[in-house]
Amino acid sequence: MGLLAAEPPVPVEAAPPGEPDAAWPDESAEAQFLAEARERGEAVSATPTPAAEPETAETQPVGPAPELDDLVARLPPAVRETLDELFRARFVRVMRLPRKTLTAAKG
């Protein structure tokens, strides 16, 4: 069974330290990619899926945070032993954090 010849990958230039999005494709590159995908018969969606869009409204948790012992009990024993062995991790409290705090830490 023979292998299909493929075009070599196009190298992506590294972004300068001050410009993290410089290597991101522009609109014309995106349009070209979508056109090529359509030619190959792939299903192409021009709009982002709902899972890819950030949640706009902050949802308030229902009820108080669960007890620490209940959450620790959900972890398999092997995971608890590994955490203890590798990191000497101890669970000390349960906190709810706003979603915006978690997304701000990514960037």
What's the Rg (C-alpha) of the chain? Answer: 23
Which pLDDT tens digit goes with each residue over 26-77? 888 888 888 898 898 888 776 655 555 555 556 666 778 889 999 999 999 9
Reported as half-sphere exposure (CB side, CA atoms, 13 A), residue 97 has a value of 8
pTM, entire model: 0.36
The residues spanned by each domain of the chain are 65-107
- Cα distance between residue 79 and residue 56, in whole Å: 34
